[in-house]
């Protein structure tokens, strides 16, 4: 398989889905938002974008299965599986905030080999394939060269329905605030990872995530020279519900900062 050619086609598919989402922004009716659970929003835009992605990707790689947020397709492939979030940042979208993205990852066996993240409102397409580097709109990107947390800007996400670990998480946030340039929460894990890859953030951490939140970003960060793990070194950070991503230089400091306050593992 020619991963680079495949990636070129996936970026076209992501841009097409993004164009549909962008078209819906100005006329979106918030009364049509549905609740999958407390604070877990979904709209017809998510569903229709996912249907479009599944249809286009199925034609591109018929033997691949799917892991999708809205469960448009649920069949799993023996070797290849697309992991899709059609609209990462739905809450932002429904409130008229323009920070959201289409996220498409391809897993071969147990390894992420391709990732595309497209932010339609900014027309920024981040993409990477295993062994071929990471790119933003055809320009190669690299992680930041900051050496320590004291020179770093950190991204995170906040819990929106499981608040049992909130106090510990607030302590972790306080730990990062005290030793870095600051902490940002912008509402899209996919873009947080893309921004680590592009050197805009030095690090990102979050818990209670799903595979479709991080799958595409994982390979983009790796190919940009970054490092990934769970809240403790190693682990399955695609399906493991928590992730730490960094430029590599600050990874151990991030893990140490988290470990000072994070005493209870994610269930």
- Which CATH number characterizes residue 91's domain? 3.30.540.10
Q: Count of CB atoms within 10 A of residue 267's CB? A: 8
CA gap 180, 197 in Å, rounded: 18
pLDDT at position 40? 45
User: What's the mean per-residue pLDDT of the chain?
Assistant: 91
Instruction: Summarize the confidence of residues 6-28 as an average pLDDT.
Output: 93
Ranges assigned E (strand) in the chain: 34-37, 40-42, 65-68, 80-88, 101-108, 111-119, 124-129, 134-136, 139-141, 153-156, 182-184, 203-207, 227-229, 242-246
What is the band of 264 on the pLDDT scale with cuts at 50, 70, 90? low
Among 119, 141, 163, give the residue marking a domain's end.
Answer: 141
Tell me which residue range forms the domain holding 55: 3-141
Cα within 13 Å of Cα(52), Cβ side: 20
DSSP-based three-state secondary structure for 139: strand
**Shared domain check, 159 and 131:** no
For 5, counting Cβ atoms within 10 Å of its Cβ (0-12 exposed, 13-18 middle, 19+ buried), the class is exposed
Instruction: Inform me whether the pLDDT recorded for 161 exceeds 90.
Output: no
What tens digit of pLDDT does each residue of 211-262 get? Answer: 999 999 999 999 999 999 999 878 899 999 999 999 999 999 999 999 998 8
CA gap 51, 80 in Å, rounded: 19
What tens digit of pLDDT does each residue of 77-104 get? Answer: 999 999 999 999 988 998 899 999 999 9
Residue 229: CATH number of its domain: 3.40.190.80
**Shared domain check, 217 and 130:** no
Cα 174 vs. chain centroid, distance in angstroms?
Answer: 23
**Shared domain check, 193 and 98:** no
**Shared domain check, 84 and 60:** yes
In-domain check, residue 265: no
**Shared domain check, 121 and 86:** yes
Residue 95 sits at φ, ψ, to 5 deg, of: -100, 5
Among 109, 141, 173, give the residue marking a domain's end.
Answer: 141
Among 102, 120, 141, give the residue marking a domain's end.
Answer: 141
CA gap 224, 198 in Å, rounded: 7
What is the band of 37 on the pLDDT scale with cuts at 50, 70, 90? very low
Instruction: Inform me whether the pLDDT recorded for 39 exceeds 60.
Output: no
**Shared domain check, 162 and 111:** no
pLDDT at position 29? 65
What tens digit of pLDDT does each residue of 7-17 get? Answer: 999 999 999 99
pLDDT at position 168? 87
For 214, counting Cβ atoms within 10 Å of its Cβ (0-12 exposed, 13-18 middle, 19+ buried), the class is buried
What tens digit of pLDDT does each residue of 43-73 get? Answer: 788 888 999 999 999 999 999 999 998 888 8
């Amino acid at each position: 398989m020619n991963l680079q050619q495949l990636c070129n086609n996936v970026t076209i598919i992501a841009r097409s889905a993004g164009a549909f989402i962008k078209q819906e922004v100005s006329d979106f009716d918030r009364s049509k938002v549905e609740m999958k659970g407390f604070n877990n929003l979904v709209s017809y835009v998510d569903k229709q974008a996912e249907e479009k992605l599944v249809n286009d990707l199925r034609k591109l790689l018929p033997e691949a299965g799917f892991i999708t947020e809205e469960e448009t397709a649920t069949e799993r492939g023996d070797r290849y599986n697309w992991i899709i979030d059609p609209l990462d940042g739905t809450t932002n979208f429904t409130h008229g905030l323009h920070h959201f993205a289409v996220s498409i990852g391809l897993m071969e066996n147990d390894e992420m080999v391709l990732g595309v993240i497209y932010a339609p409102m900014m027309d920024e397409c981040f993409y990477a394939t295993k062994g071929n580097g990471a790119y933003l709109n055809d320009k190669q990107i690299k992680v930041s060269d900051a050496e320590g947390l004291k020179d770093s800007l950190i991204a995170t996400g906040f819990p929106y329905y499981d608040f049992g670990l909130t106090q510990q998480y607030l302590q972790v946030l306080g730990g990062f605030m005290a030793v870095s340039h600051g902490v940002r929460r912008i509402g899209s894990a996919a873009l947080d990872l893309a921004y680590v890859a592009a050197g805009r953030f030095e690090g990102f951490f979050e818990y209670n995530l799903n595979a479709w939140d991080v799958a595409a970003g994982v390979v983009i960060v790796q190919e940009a020279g970054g490092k990934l793990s769970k809240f403790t070194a190693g682990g399955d950070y695609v399906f493991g519900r928590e992730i730490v991503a960094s430029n590599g230089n600050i990874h151990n400091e991030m893990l140490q900062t988290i470990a000072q306050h994070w005493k209870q593992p994610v269930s």
